[in-house]
């Protein structure tokens, strides 16, 4: 069998992923950290990814390509103002108002004139929308994509190729006489103005307004499934399938808890927290590619472990002695014998905020039986070696046994592709979850009821 494809994974998670983003469930920073490597630039939040996606859209590219010609058809209206002058005439003399002014100010004056001055007014709603969208595009290119553009990656060639669209739009924004005459304004662009501009006979304004609406929808996560799939395929620059596979399982876990209708909360950035929620007097926190909260660790120091080993004349003792000597010879800052970072980690707390359960998930995107077994071994190590406040969470003699409900338990799940005949002996502390399209896995029941 072949592994589940990236397209299938994207198809399954697209709608739910954006729904969770829109409702503030998922901490986007923790997800983006795993995807940013594909972009060759620093990404700190999902909004920035969406801004990058926006300027890569065909609609934006086409708009910028046509802009030099389109700006020649810019619309204005004529504004007439009266101006009082002495000794010179500026514009058409308004004799009626001129005579009134002379009688009221200086009846014998023959050099006072009131003239009608006609000027083109560029500050109409359509032009304000136009300048706003052009400014938005140039800002994204100059700020969000500054580092990436300097490296000229293939996925940005549309902006830095022979047409040099980036410099073209920057030059237009800075030098075009029509755009310079449109004054920036903080005036709110209402839906009434947008609706009117969308019906304009000039395609320049229709296109500019459509782009502004598109951008607003992106920033509000009002995105349909088709657009979401394009974001994954284009803006993430074909993300690694391993990352998508991890994201798939996170979405599946959140979906199962949604059946219980918990109140999800997006919380502070840091530690790769995805989301937290409360359910039946318990609090749950889910992490991605993380060691969990600050008092949880997956770390074994060389010297401490060597000191604690009583019977040293065996394989483990001799291996530790070699590791200790290596540390002393090299003076490495890191003195770890072993470190871990689970792909998925869920902490469960009681109403008194005491940790009572940790669920550890190891994800292996593979059809290789032996590689999946390596993942199982990693999972067993996580369960055996996880610490809370520098002490092992499970007693040595109860590492792989369920303890009383008032004690802490550690359980795990191995998430793999649908590997034929892959199975382990029955165990109440380890579960194997194989990918199957459109499946519910009952992961929540395992976590809720353990």
Co-location of 316 and 353 in the same domain: no
231 domain-assigned? no
Co-location of 61 and 145 in the same domain: yes
103 Cβ neighbours under 8 A, 6+ residues apart: none
Co-location of 249 and 358 in the same domain: yes
Task: Give the chain's radius of gyration (CA, Å).
Answer: 32
Co-location of 13 and 148 in the same domain: no
349, containing H or E segment: strand 344-349
Largest CA-CA distance found in the chain, in angstroms, rounded: 121
Question: Mean pLDDT of residues grouped by 10 in the chain (450 residues)?
Answer: 85 81 66 51 67 90 93 82 76 79 76 79 88 94 84 79 84 90 79 90 94 92 83 65 88 83 55 80 88 81 64 71 79 68 93 92 94 94 88 85 77 94 87 92 89
Give the model confidence (pLDDT) of 68-95 as tens digits: 999 988 888 777 777 787 777 777 778 8
Give the pLDDT confidence score for residue 399 in this predicted structure: 85
Co-location of 30 and 51 in the same domain: no
Listed residues 105, 120, 135: the one ending a domain: 120
Taking residue 8's Cβ as centre, other Cβ atoms within 10 Å add up to: 14
Residues linked to residue 80 through DSSP beta bridges, in sequence order? 118
Give the pLDDT confidence score for residue 304 in this predicted structure: 63
Q: Read out DSSP for 8-69?
A: HHHHHHHHHHHHHHHTT-S-HHHHHHHHGGGGTS---SHHHHHHHHHHHSHHHHHHHHHHHH
Extract the tokens encoding 417.
Answer: 């592709």
Co-location of 53 and 152 in the same domain: yes
232 domain-assigned? no
Q: Is 414 helix (H, G, I), strand (E, B) or coil?
A: strand
267, containing H or E segment: none
Give the pLDDT confidence score for residue 367 in this predicted structure: 93
Co-location of 279 and 207 in the same domain: no
227 domain-assigned? no
Q: Read out DSSP for 269-301?
A: SSTTEEEEEEETTEEEEEEESS--STTEE-EEE
Looking at the structure of the chain, the number of domains it has is 4
146 domain-assigned? yes
The β-bridge relationship of strands 409-416 and 430-434 is parallel
343 Cβ neighbours under 8 A, 6+ residues apart: 246, 288, 289, 361, 362, 363, 415
Tell me whether residue 229 is exposed, middle or buried, using C-beta atoms within 10 angstroms of its C-beta: 0 to 12, 13 to 18, 19 or more: middle
CB 117 within 8 A of CB 81: yes
Extract the tokens encoding 293.
Answer: 């909260």
CB 136 within 8 A of CB 169: no
Taking residue 308's Cβ as centre, other Cβ atoms within 10 Å add up to: 9
319 domain-assigned? yes
Give the pLDDT confidence score for residue 234 in this predicted structure: 66
229 domain-assigned? no
CB 365 within 8 A of CB 371: no
Co-location of 22 and 64 in the same domain: no
Give the pLDDT confidence score for residue 349 in this predicted structure: 93
Co-location of 363 and 449 in the same domain: yes
105 domain-assigned? yes
Distance CA 145, CA 140 (A): 6
**How many Cα atoms within 13 Å fall on the side-chain side of residue 150?**
7
Residue among 135, 145, 207, 201 at smallest CA distance from 169: 135
**How many Cα atoms within 13 Å fall on the side-chain side of residue 425?**
0
This prediction's pTM = 0.72
Give the pLDDT confidence score for residue 227 in this predicted structure: 84
Domain that includes residue 89, residue range = 79-120
Co-location of 275 and 360 in the same domain: yes
Co-location of 181 and 314 in the same domain: no
Give the pLDDT confidence score for residue 395 in this predicted structure: 85
Give the model confidence (pLDDT) of 114-167 as tens digits: 887 777 888 888 989 999 999 999 999 999 888 778 777 777 888 887 678 999
Give the pLDDT confidence score for residue 316 in this predicted structure: 72
Q: Read out DSSP for 210-255?
A: HHHHHHHHHHTT---HHHHHHIIIIITTS--HHHHHHHHHHHHHHH
């Amino acid at each position: 069998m072949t592994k589940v494809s990236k397209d299938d994974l994207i198809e399954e998670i697209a709608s739910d992923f954006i729904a969770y983003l829109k409702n503030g469930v998922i901490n986007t920073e923790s997800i983006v950290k795993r995807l940013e490597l594909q972009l060759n630039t620093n990404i700190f939040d999902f909004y920035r990814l969406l801004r990058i996606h926006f300027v890569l859209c065909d609609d934006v590219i086409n708009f910028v390509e046509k802009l030099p010609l389109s700006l020649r058809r810019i619309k204005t209206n004529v504004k007439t103002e009266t101006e009082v002058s002495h000794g010179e005439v500026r514009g058409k003399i308004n004799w009626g108002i001129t005579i009134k002014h002379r009688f009221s100010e200086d009846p014998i004056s023959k050099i006072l004139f009131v003239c009608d001055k006609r000027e083109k007014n560029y500050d109409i709603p359509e032009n304000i929308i136009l300048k706003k969208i052009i400014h938005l595009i140039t800002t994204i290119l100059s700020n969000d994509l500054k580092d990436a553009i300097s490296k000229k990656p293939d996925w940005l060639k549309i902006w830095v190729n022979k047409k040099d669209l980036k410099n073209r739009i920057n030059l237009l924004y800075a030098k075009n006489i029509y755009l310079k005459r449109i004054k920036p304004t903080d005036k709110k662009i209402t839906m009434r103005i947008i609706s009117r501009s969308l019906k304009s006979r000039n395609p320049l304004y229709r296109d500019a307004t459509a782009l502004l609406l598109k951008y607003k929808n992106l920033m509000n996560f009002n995105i349909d499934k088709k657009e979401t799939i394009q974001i994954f395929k284009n803006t993430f620059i074909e993300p690694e399938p391993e990352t998508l596979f991890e994201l798939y399982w996170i979405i599946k876990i959140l979906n199962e808890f949604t059946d219980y209708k918990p109140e999800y909360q997006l919380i502070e950035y840091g530690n790769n927290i995805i989301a937290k929620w409360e359910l039946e007097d318990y609090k749950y926190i889910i992490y991605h590619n993380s060691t969990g909260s600050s008092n949880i660790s997956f770390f074994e120091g060389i010297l401490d472990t060597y000191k604690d080993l009583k019977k040293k004349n065996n394989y483990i003792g001799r291996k530790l002695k070699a590791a200790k000597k290596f540390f002393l010879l090299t003076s490495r800052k890191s003195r770890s014998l072993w470190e871990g970072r689970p792909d998925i980690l869920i902490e469960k707390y009681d109403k008194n905020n005491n940790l009572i359960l940790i669920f550890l998930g190891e994800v292996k995107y593979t059809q290789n039986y032996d590689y999946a077994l390596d993942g199982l071994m990693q999972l067993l190590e996580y369960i055996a070696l996880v610490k809370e406040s520098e002490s092992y969470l499970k007693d040595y003699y109860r590492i792989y046994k369920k303890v009383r409900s008032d004690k802490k338990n550690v359980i795990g799940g191995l998430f793999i592709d649908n590997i034929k005949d892959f199975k382990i002996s029955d165990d109440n502390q380890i579960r194997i979850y194989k990918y199957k399209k459109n499946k519910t896995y009952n992961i929540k029941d395992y976590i809720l009821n353990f």
